[in-house]
Structure 1
Amino acid sequence: MNKFNYDGSPQSVVAMIDPSGNEDHFLRPCFDHPTLSDLLDAKGVSWKYYSPAAGDLWVGPDAISHIRFGADWAKVSIPNTNIFNDIATGTLPGVSWVIPTGPSSDHALGTDGTGPSWVASIVNAIGNSQYWNSTAIFITWDDWGGWYDHVKPTQYNSYELSFRVPMIVISPFVKAAYVSHVQHEFGSILHFTEEQFGLASLGYTDARADDLADCFNFNRAALPFQTIPAPMRGADFLRRPQSSAPVDTDF
């Protein structure tokens, strides 16, 4: 597997797209800027980033210098199946990022069909645990479903927004069977988290984006969890060898 970010070589670069759509500039994905994890640390809220493998393209914290080379790197939990043990032992942090392997990612031309089972196994583990009544789960993808969208994206600058991607919100306090017609962004998940934990704002897209309030009703009793039927369970993923297949290398 190719290594990226701070675990990669100087030749491990990504293409940058200019306002005209040209990919003629490359850089190493190595940065150092504030992240949601910094806000969580400042408030004393626990967090973990459950990842398939160190140095992988999808290991976001590996691109942030003060995380990769600081104490917070211990909060990057490898492999991603560690989340099942943390749920079972009552040590799940306040905020979790859970990243799939390439084959379980639903990524076009790179999936083996286990993605829905992977998601269901985590949701079922949380839903049947002590955490259900105080949890919101956001499931989303980094690519759109059909490589096309009939709705023109809102443009704030030369780079955003883009085609819509799906998002599923699971919680005992969601509006059941509700389809949102509000414009949300990835920053909306940040905004929601900041509000729920009383965090400061990063002042980026989180400040502009909505807080997903239309998806919830916190003024009623928690809904009971209903187990999601799926071909594979968490135990199957625990027994499954971790994939080293490259992920999302279509740049």
Structure 2
Amino acid sequence: YYLVNNYGPAYNADGTAVDVKQHPYTLPPQTLPNIGEAMSKAGVSWKYYIGGLKRGGAQHSGANDTWCSICNPLQYSKNIMTTALRNQIVDVSEFYRDAQNGNLPEVSFVRPYEPYSGHPANSAVSAYEYFVLSIANNVISRPDLFASTAIVVTLDEGGGYYDSGYIQPLDFFGDGTRIPMLVISPYVKPGKIDHVYSDHGSILKFIEKNWNLAPLSPRSRDNLPNPIAAPDNPYVPTNGPSIGDLMTLFDFANKQSSPPLIIPGGI
């Protein structure tokens, strides 16, 4: 069967196994390949920065209000949580420290503290915007760092009950309704709205394209080809199912001058 609800990971943040007697809604350890394993095998450095963690990989005291265990996909993985790769999962505060010290890895995944997640139950969109602002400005303010960086900002779910846009049948699970994505980089085409059909798997394709990595598995979405647009509708691929690799957003031959810090809008 396919699980379609929020079951907890098999491991605690420190790598110990979850007691399923106390937490019955827990998935068993997962062994499907993931992008963390793939990058490590290829020698590509990475970290998963998540709010509510402290050094050593344990939740800090009072983390219930800031921590979201189901928001760390790598915490489900046996090959991550029972090996030294678990040390690549750190608190989001270390992102700022690593940026300041020039120690950011080649690929950073950044997940906010739960009150800044934008989730309607315990956060707000404005809180998520503020968090994105802090991450982006921290990088933009360091020209040497920003010169080789692409910041991909996205969400994990849609914001309404209706979407008039084309939704592609990719596989058994969908695709789902559209969500926003923003890319901040000195190499993006200024003001461009990309019409290439993409989804979250496109971020994996971007990483794999940039570092010459193979798809994760024979059946994962990163195997899908890049879309060929229909002449009458650029959003609808003629070779579906297909998803983009985000490369159409960039013009690597024409670096833009570094933008100023992002200033939050006002009324």
Q: TM-score range by the shorter chain?
A: 0.7 to 0.9
Give structure 1 stretches of 5+ with no counterpart. Answer: 15-26, 232-251
Q: Does 1:132 align with 2:171?
A: no
- Tell me, in whole angstroms, the C-alpha distance in 2 between the residues paired with 1:4 and 1:66: 13
Q: Is the 8 A contact 2:37 2:79 kept in 1?
A: no
Per the TM alignment, residue 159 of structure 1 is displaced from its structure 2 partner at its CA by 1.3
Is the Cα contact below 8 Å between 1:137 and 1:171 reproduced in 2?
yes
Tell me which stretches of 4 or more aligned residues in structure 1 moved more than 3 Å: 2-5, 11-14
Choose between structure 1 and 2 for higher RCO, CA contacts under 8 A separated by at least 6 residues. Answer: 1
- Counterpart of 2:252? 218
* Mapped contact 2:8–2:27 kept (Cα < 8 A): no
Kept after mapping to 1: 8 A contact 2:37/2:80:
no
The residue number in structure 2 matching 1:101 is 113
Residue number in structure 2 paired with 1:9: 19
Q: Partners of 2:244 and 2:97 in 1: how far apart?
A: 33
Stretches of structure 2 that go unaligned for 5 or more consecutive residues are 1-6, 13-17, 53-58, 60-67, 225-242
The two structures have a TM-score, normalised by structure 1, of 0.80
Amino acid at match of 1:71: A
Q: Secondary structure at the match of 1:96?
A: strand
Q: Does 1:35 align with 2:14?
A: no
SS of equivalent to 1:229: coil
Distance of 2:151 and 2:141 partners within structure 1? 14
Residue 107 of structure 1: how far off its partner (Å) = 1.4
Report the Cα distance in structure 1 between the residues aligned to 2:121 and 2:247, rounded to whole angstroms. Answer: 35
CA distance in 2, matches of 1:36, 1:3: 20
Q: State the match for 2:47 in structure 1.
A: 48
Q: CA deviation at 1:13?
A: 5.9
Deviating more after overlay: 203-212 vs 125-134: 203-212
Query: What is the CA distance between 1:61 and its match in structure 2?
Result: 1.2
- Displacement, 1:147? 3.5
SS at match of 1:57: helix
The aligned counterpart of 1:205 is 221
How high is the TM-score relative to the length of structure 2? Answer: 0.75
Task: Tell me the residue number matched to 2:182.
Answer: 168
Is the 8 Å Cα contact of residues 3 and 9 (structure 1) preserved in structure 2?
A: no
SS of the aligned residue for 1:103 comes to helix
